[in-house]
Chain A
């Protein structure tokens, strides 16, 4: 039951640590790496507050052992803003459209929405609701979360259109 040497890339940064294999990824991120953006909500893989991106998939980091994530690439909410500190379009849109009230679910919600838009850049409202169905919000009633994700999708589509194309 000894500790193991764990290496992974978190938000673009190579990290290494000794950890017990049973350490949950959420605890490793929060306690070892001080990335307290992903939250522990239910601790039973229901609420989605601990959602992070693991090798290009949305996962609930309360239900992944650090040993399973050894060698993986992880992105947390802390990794979404640009290097100069400017917010990701999803973060901007959540602020603009009041996509949060207490904010507890927000890191997981945005990290999940980030992957959803990678997989489906132009989702319908129904697709957004289905795509975030593993993330619970107890404040907003989801209306403004959906609006924020729709607005971010539009913003990101504009941003990826080359200037010449937009003019045509």
Chain B
């Protein structure tokens, strides 16, 4: 599979990247790790005339932590996110989720920014970012803006990113100390997207859930924030009845495609199973 021809650009700063995109126009694309874009180019489903490679843009790399505020540069690889001891301490669901993306080789090039900006409902981080209520820092010719992850995804491969805009960083407020977390993903094999997956964050106080957030991956056109499912846990002891209510609420919004991962009814059923497992695991980890 040979991709279409393109001209290659490797800017050294974000400003240079943004102005390149502006001057090259709509047939240009940025490439980060390339592990979503290059397969699409090999299938000729993407045919950019210009590729703007962000690998030398130092300001897009690295993880910065300021108190409970976490900023992850878009070009931080998934492997780097997994290796960060500070992230594992402050917000361990990031590592748990990233370890379930694709395989080691892909995680060594695949980036956080690419995974969230691509808009593929199969990507794992967008669902997680719904649960974490992350914010995306976007940089375009008109300057910088910040958008909630919950307002970013519009449809399959369609996001709020304007033409010529680059996702520069992901910002997360670390969940409270003692929170419970889990990312449960059912996949057919290593490297596959989720048949269904669920991200759960919750906080307990005296055995009662005071805050819960649940999101779903790859059971809709976009990642889904399961608000009613989260609400079903709040104020309860996260007992069997509450877990069942949360799973039912999550199932109610699941609208998975019928594809090689199974018929719709099966994937809706798996949504139930993933939410149930993730809530139970998150509860067992909360203190």
> Using Cβ atoms and an 8 Å threshold, which residues of chain B touch A51?
105
> Using Cβ atoms and an 8 Å threshold, which residues of chain B touch A60?
105-106
Pair A68/B31 contact, Cβ less than 8 Å = yes
In the complex, A65 has a CB within 8 A of chain B:
yes
* Distance to closest chain B CB from A38 (angstroms): 12
Give A50-84 as 1s and 0s: 1 = Cβ < 8 Å from B's Cβ atoms.
Answer: 01000001111001110110100000000000000
Task: Out of A4, A21, A59, A67, name the residue touching B105 (CB < 8 Å).
Answer: A59
Given A59-B105, A134-B105, also A1-B5 (CB < 8 A): yes
Taking CB atoms and an 8 Å cut-off, the chain B residues in 64-89 that contact chain A are: 79
Binds B, one of A9-17, A41-49, A96-104, A150-158: A41-49
Give A120-137 as 1s and 0s: 1 = Cβ < 8 Å from B's Cβ atoms.
Answer: 000000000011111000
> Using Cβ atoms and an 8 Å threshold, which residues of chain B touch A92?
none
Query: Can you name the residue of chain B whose Cβ is closest to the Cβ of A1?
Result: B5
Pair B108/A58 contact, Cβ less than 8 Å = yes
> Using Cβ atoms and an 8 Å threshold, which residues of chain A touch B1?
43-44
Task: Out of B4, B5, B7, B104, name the residue touching A112 (CB < 8 Å).
Answer: B104
Given A60-B105, A131-B104, also A65-B7 (CB < 8 A): no
Pair B104/A133 contact, Cβ less than 8 Å = yes
Give B11-51 as 1s and 0s: 1 = Cβ < 8 Å from A's Cβ atoms.
Answer: 00000000000000000000100110011011000000101
Pair B108/A48 contact, Cβ less than 8 Å = no
Pair B105/A68 contact, Cβ less than 8 Å = no
> Using Cβ atoms and an 8 Å threshold, which residues of chain A touch B240?
none
Given A4-B8, A43-B42, A65-B38, also A22-B3 (CB < 8 A): yes
Give Cα A2–Cα B9 distance, bound, in whole angstroms. Answer: 12
Taking CB atoms and an 8 Å cut-off, the chain A residues in 15-30 that contact chain B are: 20-22, 24
Pair B6/A57 contact, Cβ less than 8 Å = no
Pair A134/B38 contact, Cβ less than 8 Å = no
Pair A58/B53 contact, Cβ less than 8 Å = no
* Distance to closest chain B CB from A20 (angstroms): 7
Pair B8/A58 contact, Cβ less than 8 Å = no
Taking CB atoms and an 8 Å cut-off, the chain B residues in 188-218 that contact chain A are: 190-191
> Using Cβ atoms and an 8 Å threshold, which residues of chain B touch A2?
7
Taking CB atoms and an 8 Å cut-off, the chain B residues in 90-118 that contact chain A are: 102-106, 108-109
Pair B108/A57 contact, Cβ less than 8 Å = yes
Given A65-B38, A67-B53, also A134-B106 (CB < 8 A): yes
> Using Cβ atoms and an 8 Å threshold, which residues of chain B touch A133?
103-104, 190
16 A-B pairs with C-beta separation under 8 A: A21-B51, A22-B2, A22-B3, A22-B6, A45-B35, A48-B103, A63-B34, A63-B106, A64-B109, A67-B51, A67-B53, A68-B34, A131-B104, A133-B190, A134-B102, A134-B106
Nearest 7 interchain pairs by C-beta: A134-B103, A21-B8, A1-B5, A57-B108, A67-B8, A133-B190, A134-B105
Given contact pairs A1-B49, A45-B106, A134-B191, a sample of 9 additional A-B residue pairs in the complex whose CB atoms are under 8 Å apart = A21-B7, A21-B8, A22-B2, A58-B105, A58-B108, A59-B109, A60-B105, A68-B34, A68-B53
